[in-house]
Amino acid sequence: MPLEKYQYLSNVWRDDIFKNKVVFCTGGAGTICSAQVRAMVHLGADACIIGRNVEKTENMAKDIATARKGAKVIGIGAVDVRKPELLQEAANRCAKELGSIDFVIAGAAGNFLATIEQISPNAMKSVIDIDVLGSYNTVKATLPYLQESAAKHRTDGKTEPANGTGGRIIFVSATLHYAGTPLQSHVSVAKAGVDAMAMSIAIEQGPKGLTSNIIAPGPIADTEGIDRLSKKETRERSYKAVPAGRYGTVKEIADATVYLFSDSGNFVNGETLVVDGGAWHTAGFANGFSYPDFLLSGETVTGVGGGKKAKL
C-alpha cells in the first residue's frame, strides 16, 4: 500500500534530483531495499527491482511506483542472484526498457541463526553464494551500464553537475563481523567478503568515475531481519543496548542511500556508512540469547523465524 513520504524519506531532499535516472536493485522487494528504491523513485528515478518470488517482487514494484506520479518501476521475479545469466538478462531488460542503469543497490542476502557446529557445509555455501557471489554477479551484469553512466555524469565538485549524478553502487552489508557476533559466523564471513569486494571496486573503477560504497544497517524496526533474527519477548531489552536508545527505521537507511547517490556524495568512495545508532559498539547477545549460557547449552535456536533447525 502507498506510504506517507516521511515513512521512507526525510524532507531535506529536493525533488527531481534523480530525474531521468535509473536504479537497479537486487533484493528490492525486501523491507530495507524497497525503502531505498522508493526514496529514489520519489526523487525522480525510475527503477528495476529484482527478487526470487515473482508475485512479491511484482507487487512491490507496483507499490513503489505510487511514490511519484508517472514513475516507471519494473519488478522482475524468479531471479536467483547466484545465477549470473539471470542477472544479466534482468540488467539488459532494465536498460532496454528504462534507458540506462545509473545506480545499483546490491541488497540480496540470506540469513538464519545457528552456531558453527549447527551450520552444514551446504548452508554455509548458500549464504556465501547469495551474499558474495550474488553481489559479484550483480556487479558483472551492471558494470558496463554503470561505466557508461559514470562517463556521462562526472563532476569536478566545483560546479553543479548539469545532468545529475550516475555510475554509483551501494552494497548493503552489516556490522556483524566488526566485533564478532554469536550465531552469525556464516553471515559474518559473507559480509566481510562483500565489504572487501566493494573496496576493490572503488579502487579499480574510481578512475573511470564510479563510486562503490557500503551501507551497514544496524537493527532496523519492522523489518524481516528483526522479525526473523530476534525474539519478540526480549526486543525491549535489546533496543536499550543501542546507544541511540531505539531501533532504526527504514527511512534512515533510505536517507543514507540518497546521500551517497546524490551530489552530496560525490567525493565519497570506498567507504562504509554504518547506520546503526552506535549499536555495534555495544554488540553482544542483544538478540535475546544469554551469553555464554546459550552457547554452552548446545541448544538449537528456537523462538525466531530465522532459526536453523535442519541441515540444508
Show pLDDT as tens, one digit a residue, over the chain (312 residues): 678 887 899 999 999 999 999 999 999 999 999 999 999 999 999 999 999 999 999 999 999 999 999 999 999 999 999 999 999 999 999 999 999 999 999 999 988 888 999 999 999 999 999 999 999 999 999 999 999 999 999 988 888 777 899 999 999 999 999 988 888 999 999 999 999 999 999 999 999 999 999 999 998 887 765 555 555 655 566 677 788 888 899 999 999 999 999 999 999 999 999 999 998 887 754 455 665 676 687 777 776 665 554 443
Q: State the pTM of this model.
A: 0.89
Q: Point out the catalytic residue in the list 173, 188, 212, 262.
A: 173
Active-site residue flag, 191: yes
Q: Point out the catalytic residue in the list 34, 188, 191, 251.
A: 191
Task: Look up residue 250 and give its amino acid.
Answer: V
Euclidean distance between CA atoms 309 and 223, whole angstroms:
22
Euclidean distance between CA atoms 69 and 67, whole angstroms:
7
Going from N- to C-terminal start, the domains of the chain cover 5-297
Q: Is the dihedral of CA 126, 132, 138, 141 positive or negative?
A: negative
Euclidean distance between CA atoms 287 and 309, whole angstroms:
18
Active-site residue flag, 173: yes
Euclidean distance between CA atoms 243 and 246, whole angstroms:
8
Q: 221, 223, 216, 237: which is closest to 287 by C-alpha?
A: 237
The pLDDT of residue 307 is 57
The pLDDT of residue 105 is 98
CATH class belonging to 5-297: alpha beta
The pLDDT of residue 242 is 84
The DSSP output letter for 19 is T
The pLDDT of residue 146 is 98
The pLDDT of residue 310 is 40
Residue 142 in contact with residue 25, Cβ under 8 Å? no
Euclidean distance between CA atoms 39 and 36, whole angstroms:
5
Q: 143, 163, 168: which is closest to 153 by C-alpha?
A: 163
Q: Are strands 22-26 and 168-172 parallel, antiparallel or unpaired?
A: unpaired
Residue 217 in contact with residue 276, Cβ under 8 Å? yes
C-alpha cell at 175: 556490522
C-alpha cell at 253: 537507511
Task: Look up residue 229 and give its amino acid.
Answer: L
Q: Are strands 46-50 and 22-26 parallel, antiparallel or unpaired?
A: parallel
